[in-house]
Structure formats: structure tokens, C-alpha cells
């Protein structure tokens, strides 16, 4: 049984551009987490990696790797592994319709007999566009923030009126943004122009959304779907650093499970289970971003693997993708001995001449699910901490940060 797992950022998507450091780290974390769940089964796993990651090949020793060096090679290599595989999973961002385009290639013609472990292209077309998602979930309007679709070239006075009608502060978002790219909290008319500039820098689309600002807890639900049946996995807390137009909004990891004070987790799960019934074609693992205030508000549907999966994988006693491939009943069996899983990308500035191998021999190596990547003067890695409490994990995080800062200074 051959399985092709393709992660866009690490797999050559930026082959002739500078690698985006945060996305490389998060992409590698997701890729390695999926591989970890499959390697104990009798599967041959194939992946593609950007040649600039060749120094980290030992972390992918259990799979067949092909390194890509040129953009002109991409289509041929991508299709080759699709054609050779029985199953495929595509992990890619929604911006520029990348995830949708790659999935359509995989679904096309002679490749159609390969089985997709993720969502189909039609569902990605909807869920990968924030305004299409909003309109498609109209039957759940009580649980949606007020949202308006706007053109980037719209007159500032008209945009100001829309913001006033929704009520300041509001959120500006690209239709296809990921990881907080282009997102701003707009507090008044004077910030609108800068908010538009920020969106233009993060999307090629000519539209964006203005959304009601909801006061509450940033969270998400991880959902696994098989044969149109939805299996909620966990409610997750997300550390979102929401900024005005003059700074970058950032995703800073999260923890699981999250217990909301205002409502029962089952109520939230029951709401989320409606989404795959409305957006046909959602399949495998998806993430639903929420803000939990006076009720759960559905913010986004991510029709792909999300970074929360990296934490969830540490709790799952049985791999969900293996169960799907083997056509077993889905069994959501979590390790109850672990009360908290905390996950976050760490980044440090270092001297360009430092030996990366020395850092990858650090005493906290087992807490990282990725290698420590070195890019020019930066060191980054994705960390997962497990313990009986969030407090213990936060304390360990502080110790890890202290250790690396002492080694660097």
C-alpha cells in the first residue's frame, strides 16, 4: 500500500522564493505528525522535500523522500507520486487557491482512482473562501459574526459606513488568508487605509471581508470525517495575537483540551457536526476556528490539516488515517493519563556561524516534533509539551526558553 503525503511549504511550494520560516516549521510539524501515525503500519510512504531541507533528512528516514530543486520539476514529480500511490493527503494553504488547485490535479482524469484522505476540491472551493463559507452556513446564522464582503478599491467613506453599521472595532481579513496573515483589528476610520494596505500585501484577490469583532476565547474544534459522518476530537485553545494594521497578527500555538467556562463542550461539538452536512465533500481531518463568547461563533472552516493536529496526535491511541485506509470503524481513543498538551513554535536569533547539530543535541530534544531549523540568523522548531496541567507545561516552556537564550547569548 503506497501513500503520498504532500506538504506544500516543505515540499517545494516556495522552491524559487525565500522559505517562510514560520510556515516551514508548522508544515514540517504537521507532515511529521502524519508520518508518525502511519509508519507502524505496513505502508510505503512517499514525500517531496525542498532541497534546502536536505540537512534535516535524518528526520524523514522512515519514508521515501525525493528532493526538488527547480520549479519546473514540480508538476512532474507531484503527478508521479500521485500516479504511484493508492492514497494521498495534501496539506497546503488556501491562499491563491493552492490547496484547491492541487486537489483538482489529484482528482483529474486518470488519477481519479486514487483515494483522497482529505477534502475534495468542491468543498475546498467553499471552505477556503471566507465569504463563501459565511453564505453557505447561513442556516447557522445565529452562530456567525456579522460579515460583509467588500472590494479592496471601495471608497474609504463607504468602508467607514460599513464599519459603523457593524460597530467599531471590526476585523479586516483577506478571503484566503492563513495564520493571521493580513488580519487587523480596526478601531476607527483612521486605520482603514492601513488595514487595506495590509490585506493587499497578503492576497492577490480584489475582495476582503469586514467582520464583527467578537469578545471571547479564541478556540477551535478538530473534527474527523469519514463517509460523511463527523467525529469531534477535541476543543482546543488558540493563542491569537490580534493586532492593529501597524503590526502583524500572529498565531502563537495553543493547548488541548480546552474547557470553556460558559458552555459544555458537547454543546459545541453538536453545533460543529452540522458543518459537514452543509458543506458537502469535507473529509478526513478539518479544523473549525471559533470564538466562544455568549455562544460559540464560527469564524472559519479549515478544509485541511491544522497545527492543532500536532498536539492531538500526542493524545490519540489509534491513528485516524490508518483506520481510514484499513477501512476500520473510527475509534476516537484518547490517552486519559495526559491532562494537557501544549504546542507552540519557538524562534530565536542566533549567530550565522553557529553549529546547528549542537543545538539539535539539546536536552529538550524529545519535546520537539521537528528538527531545529536554521535560517540565516534564526533558529526555529515546533514543540509539544505533555503533562498533567497547563501550569506545568507553561513552566517547562519557560525553562526551555531560558536554556536556549543562555546558549545563544
Instruction: Look up the CATH superfamily of 146-212.
Output: ATP-grasp fold, A domain (3.30.1490.20)
Which residues are within 8 A (CB) of 84 and not within 5 positions of it... i.e. 6 or more apart? 2, 4, 46
Provide the H-helix boundaries in 137-264.
Answer: 156-166, 192-200
What is the chain's mean pLDDT, rounded? 93
Q: Are 251 and 240 in contact (CB under 8 A)?
A: yes
pLDDT for the residue numbered 316: 94
- Residue 42 pLDDT exceeds 90: no
Q: Are 309 and 362 in contact (CB under 8 A)?
A: no
pLDDT for the residue numbered 409: 64
pLDDT for the residue numbered 112: 66
Domains 2-117 and 146-212 share a fold: no
pLDDT for the residue numbered 109: 66
CA distance linking residue 403 with residue 358, whole number of Å: 13
- Residue 111 pLDDT exceeds 80: no
- Residue 246 pLDDT exceeds 90: yes
Q: Are 31 and 7 in contact (CB under 8 A)?
A: yes
- Residue 224 pLDDT exceeds 90: yes
Dihedrals phi, psi of 361, to nearest 5 degrees: -105, 20
pLDDT for the residue numbered 162: 97
DSSP state of 195: H
CA terminus-to-terminus distance, the chain? 49
CA distance linking residue 118 with residue 367, whole number of Å: 28
Q: What is the pLDDT of residues 116-158, one digit of tens each?
A: 999 999 999 999 999 999 999 999 999 999 999 999 999 999 9
Average pLDDT (331-338) is 91
More confident residue, 211 or 329: 211
Q: Give domain limits for the chain.
A: 2-117, 146-212, 217-325, 340-408
| Region 2-117: CATH code | 3.40.50.11770
pLDDT for the residue numbered 185: 98
**Grid coordinates 486519559 are at which residue?**
336
- Residue 346 pLDDT exceeds 80: yes
- Percentage of the chain with pLDDT > 90? 83
pLDDT for the residue numbered 357: 72
- Residue 359 pLDDT exceeds 80: no
Fold exhibited by the domain 217-325:
D-amino Acid Aminotransferase; Chain A, domain 1 (3.30.470)
Q: Are 8 and 89 in contact (CB under 8 A)?
A: no
More confident residue, 114 or 219: 219
Confidence band of 353 (pLDDT split at 50, 70, 90): confident
Amino acid at each position: 500500500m503506497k501513500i503520498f503525503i504532500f506538504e506544500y511549504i516543505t515540499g517545494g511550494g516556495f522552491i524559487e522564493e525565500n522559505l517562510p520560516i514560520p510556515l516551514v516549521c508548522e508544515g514540517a510539524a504537521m507532515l511529521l505528525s502524519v508520518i508518525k501515525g502511519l509508519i507502524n503500519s505496513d505502508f510505503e510512504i512517499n514525500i517531496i522535500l525542498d532541497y534546502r531541507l536536505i540537512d534535516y533528512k535524518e528526520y524523514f528516514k522512515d519514508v521515501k523522500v525525493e528532493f526538488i530543486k527547480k520549479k519546473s520539476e514540480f508538476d512532474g514529480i507531484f503527478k508521479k507520486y500521485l500516479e504511484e500511490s493508492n492514497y494521498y493527503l495534501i496539506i497546503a494553504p488556501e491562499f491563491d487557491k493552492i490547496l484547491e488547485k492541487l486537489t483538482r490535479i489529484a482528482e483529474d482524469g486518470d488519477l481519479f482512482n486514487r483515494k483522497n484522505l482529505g477534502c475534495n476540491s468542491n468543498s475546498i472551493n467553499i471552505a477556503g473562501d471566507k465569504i463563501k463559507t459565511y453564505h453557505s452556513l447561513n442556516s447557522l446564522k445565529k452562530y456567525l459574526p456579522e460579515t460583509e464582503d467588500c472590494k479592496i478599491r471601495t471608497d474609504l467613506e463607504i468602508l467607514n459606513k460599513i464599519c459603523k453599521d457593524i460597530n467599531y472595532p471590526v476585523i479586516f481579513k483577506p478571503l484566503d488568508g492563513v495564520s493571521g496573515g493580513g488580519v487587523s483589528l480596526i478601531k476607527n476610520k483612521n486605520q482603514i487605509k492601513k488595514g487595506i494596505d495590509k490585506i493587499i500585501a497578503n492576497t492577490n484577490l480584489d475582495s476582503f471581508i469586514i467582520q464583527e469583532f467578537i469578545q471571547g476565547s479564541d478556540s477551535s474544534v478538530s473534527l474527523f470525517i469519514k463517509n460523511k459522518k463527523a467525529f469531534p476530537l477535541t476543543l482546543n485553545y488558540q493563542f491569537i495575537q490580534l493586532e492593529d494594521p501597524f503590526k502583524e497578527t500572529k498565531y502563537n500555538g495553543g493547548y488541548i483540551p480546552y474547557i470553556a467556562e460558559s458552555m459544555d463542550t458537547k454543546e459545541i461539538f453538536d453545533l460543529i457536526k452540522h458543518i459537514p452536512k452543509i458543506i458537502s465533500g469535507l473529509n478526513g481531518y478539518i479544523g473549525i476556528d471559533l470564538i466562544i463568547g455568549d455562544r460559540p461563533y464560527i469564524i472559519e472552516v479549515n478544509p485541511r490539516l491544522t497545527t492543532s493536529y500536532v498536539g492531538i496526535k500526542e493524545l490519540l491511541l489509534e491513528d485516524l488515517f490508518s483506520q481510514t485506509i484499513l477501512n476500520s470503524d473510527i475509534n476516537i481513543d484518547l490517552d486519559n493519563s495526559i491532562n494537557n498538551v501544549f504546542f507552540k513554535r519557538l524562534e530565536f536569533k542566533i549567530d550565522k556561524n553557529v553549529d546547528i547539530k549542537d543545538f539539535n543535541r539539546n536536552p529538550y530534544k524529545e519535546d520537539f516534533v521537528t528538527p531545529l531549523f536554521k535560517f540565516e540568523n534564526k533558529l526555529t522548531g515546533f514543540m509539544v509539551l505533555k503533562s498533567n496541567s497547563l501550569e506545568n507545561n507553561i513552566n517547562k516552556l519557560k525553562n526551555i526558553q531560558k536554556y536556549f537564550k543562555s546558549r545563544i547569548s
